[in-house]
Structure 1
C-alpha cells in the first residue's frame, strides 16, 4: 500500500496506522517545518519528502491508497480570534481536498481541533463537509475523540474518515472509551458529536507542559481544588512523547540533509504539541481495517 501524509508533522499517522496493522510499501510526506521534516526523515529513512501541500499534485507521485492530514488548526482554536477558513493557515485544507480529488484514494483521514464544531465555525464546517462530499463517491463519518480514553491527557480532536462507498463494509464510528486498551482510559460515554454522509455521484494543540509531582503515599487533589504550584514541574521530553503515544526518544534526533543532529528540548515540545495522538490513530485505523474492503 501507499500512504501520503499531508501536514505530516513527525509522522503520527504513519506510526498509528502501522500499529493498526497496515504495511506501507511507499510512504510520501509533505511538511514545511524543517525540524519536523528532519525528525520524520530520521524515523522513516525510506520515506520520500515531496515538499509543501500546494505543489503535491505536480510532483508526479503514484496514487496513494490512504491520504492523511491534520491540517493547520490555529484559526479554529479556542484561543485567538478564530478566523476559521478565512485564516491563512486553516485555508490550506483546500489544497488537501484538491489532492484527494486528484488521486481519489481508497481512504482519507482528517484530524483537527474541536473548535471546528463551535457555533462560530459551523459555516466553515459545512463548507468543508460539502467540499469532501462534492468529490463524489465517498462515504464520510466523523466523531470527536479524546486522547484521555487512551492516555492520561485530555485532548479532544475531531477525526473524519472518507472511504470509497463501494469499499465500505461497516461503520468506523462510534468509538468510545470501552474500545480502548490502555489502563489510563476514562469511562466517559460515547460523545454525541458523530456524523455520517454518503454521496455517490461522480467518478467510481498543545500538550500541557506541567505535571503535578505527588509524594509517596500522596493522592491527587480533586478537580477544582487549589494546587500547590511548588509541586509542579515541566514534563520531560520522554514524558511528552509518552503522553502522545510515541516511543521514548522518538523526537530526539533529526536528519538535516544527511547530518544527524539532536533536536532541542523546546522544539521537541512543539513537535509533540502539533502531533496527532498515536493510539487514537491506531484505534481509527483498526476500525478502518475491520470495516473496509482494501
Structure 2
C-alpha cells in the first residue's frame, strides 16, 4: 500500500528522508510505504537540497514559493494520502521573543490546515519546537490543536525527546500525528528505546567517529578560528561553556545580563550532543570535546542522523540553517513507521501521550491577529 505524501515547509528533507526509509509489511505480505508527491518551501537553497536528495527525477514537484502565495487547491496540487508540515518555529522557540500567533511566522500553520480541509489526506504529521506549548500563555498550542481536530482528525500530540529514540542529540520536539476520523484508527506514541534500563544513549563521539568522516566529504569545511578563540576553547573542559570559572580573566567574555548555557559549550564525548540549532552568532556553533574548534556542517548533519552522502546546497551558514531546522531523519522514520504499523494492523510497544486531545475542544477566547 502506497501513501502519496505532500509536504509544506519541507526544509532540506529530514521528514521526507525518514518517510522514504520507512517501510512495514503486514501479516499478508503487503508492504506499506510512502512516495513523495509534492512539497513547498520558501527557501531556494533548501528546495535545491530537497530535490537533489529526495526527488531528483521530479524537480518540478518541489515549489519554491511563499506558502501564503501558493494556490492550495486540486487545480494546483495533485491528490495526496499523507501530509507533513514542520511549520516555522521562529515565533514559538524558547530562545527569542516568543511572539507565538501574533508573530510573522506563528499563523503559518493555518496553511497546513487548509491542505487538510482541501485534500483530506488519510493522515498527517505536524512538527514544532517544545516552546509551542508556552507561546501566548499556552493558548496558541490549544488553538492549533483545536483547528487540527476540527479539520476532521483524531490527533495524538506528544513531546518527543529524540535522545530516547537513539538519536545522538538531546532534541525535544512536539510532533502531532493525526488520522482522519472516518478511518477509525488510533495512533499510539512509539515506546522509547534508549535511556535508563534500556539501550544506552547514542553518544556524540559514536555519532562523529563511527565510521570516521571522510576528510573530503561534502559540507565538511572547518571554521577558521582566531588564535584567541582557540586559546579560549582550550581552557573549557568537555561539557562546560564560556562561563567556566577556570578560564583566565583576560580571556573571559565581557557579557552583561543573561548568559546562555550553549555559548562556546563543548560536547561531552560520552553523552548525546546538545541541540543542533540553525542560527546564532559567535559561540553557538557546537564545539568539539577534544579539538578546540566548532563542528563542521557535516558533523552537525551526523548529529541530526543525515547520511554522509546527503548533499546540502547553499553557503556555509545557509547549510547550517538547513541542518539545524530539520527533523532528524532517523527520528522521523521511527514515528512514520508507527503510523504505517497503525494502518497495517501491526502491534508495537507504545507509551501514552500526556495530552488528551479532547481537552483542546474546550472553547477558548483567543483571536488570531
What is the TM-score normalised by the length of structure 1?
0.76
Partner of 1:41: helix, strand, or coil? helix
Match of 2:57? 46
1:243 is matched with which residue?
303
1:39 CA displacement: 1.0
Match of 1:144 in 2: 159
Q: Counterparts of 1:21-36 in structure 2 under 5 Å?
A: 21=23, 23-36=33-46
Measure the CA separation in 2 of the matches of 1:270 and 1:26: 23
Residue 271 (structure 2) aligns with:
none
**Cα distance, 1:227–1:72 mapped onto 2, change above 3 Å:** farther
Q: Deviations over 1:27-78 (max 9, x none)?
A: 2010011100111121121340234323241453222111100001111111
Deviations 1:206-252 (Å, cap 9, x if unpaired)?
xxx9xxxxxxxxx9568997687795421112111111111114234
Note the alpha carbon deviations across 1:64-113, whole angstroms, 9 max, x for none. 11110000111111122211011111211111111111111001100000
Q: Deviations over 1:118-147 (max 9, x none)?
A: 2744111111111111112x2110110122
Equivalent residues of 1:167, 1:293 under 8 A apart: no
Deviates more, 1:8-17 or 1:171-180: 171-180
Residue number in structure 2 paired with 1:57: 72
Q: 2:12 is matched with which residue?
A: 10
TM-score for both structures, normalised by structure 2: 0.62
Distance across 1 between alignment mates of 2:292 and 2:81: 45
More strand by share: 1
Q: 141-150 vs 156-165, which deviates more?
A: 141-150
Number of the residue aligned with 1:91: 107
1:222/1:82 CA distance change after superposition, 3 Å: closer
User: Separation in 1 of the partners of 2:302 and 2:5?
Assistant: 24
Once residues 200 and 183 of structure 2 are traced to their aligned partners in structure 1, the CA distance between those partners, rounded to angstroms, is 30
- Hey, what's the Cα distance between the residues in 2 that align with 1:109 and 1:181? 27
Give 1:277 deviation, angstroms.
1.1
Would you say the 8 A contact 1:145–1:156 is kept in 2? yes
Contact 2:157/2:177, CA 8 A, preserved across alignment: yes
Paired with 1:90 and 1:71, the residues of 2 have a C-alpha distance of 8
Contact residue 251 and residue 268 of structure 1 kept, 8 A:
no
RMSD: 3.1
Cα separation, 2, equivalents of 1:127 and 1:19: 32
State the alpha-carbon separation in 1 of the partners of residues 71 and 245 from structure 2.
50
Do the aligned partners of 1:84 and 1:121 also contact (CA within 8 Å) in 2? no
Structure 2 CA distance for aligned equivalents of residues 177 and 227 of structure 1: 37
Structure 1 CA distance for aligned equivalents of residues 333 and 200 of structure 2: 12
Query: Greater CA radius of gyration, 1 or 2?
Result: 2
Alpha carbons 1:10, 1:36 under 8 Å: kept: yes
| Residue 123 of structure 1, aligned match among 131, 136, 139 | 139
Contact 1:177 1:185 in 2 (8 A): no
Q: 1:155 aligns with which of 171, 174, 198?
A: 171
Aligned length: 255
Match of 2:355?
none
Contact persistence 1:76–1:84 (CA under 8 A):
yes
Question: Do the aligned residues in 2 keep the contact of 1:140 with 1:160 (CA within 8 Å)?
Answer: yes
8 Å CA contact 1:241, 1:272 repeated in 2: yes
Q: Which residue of 1 aligns with 2:327?
A: 276
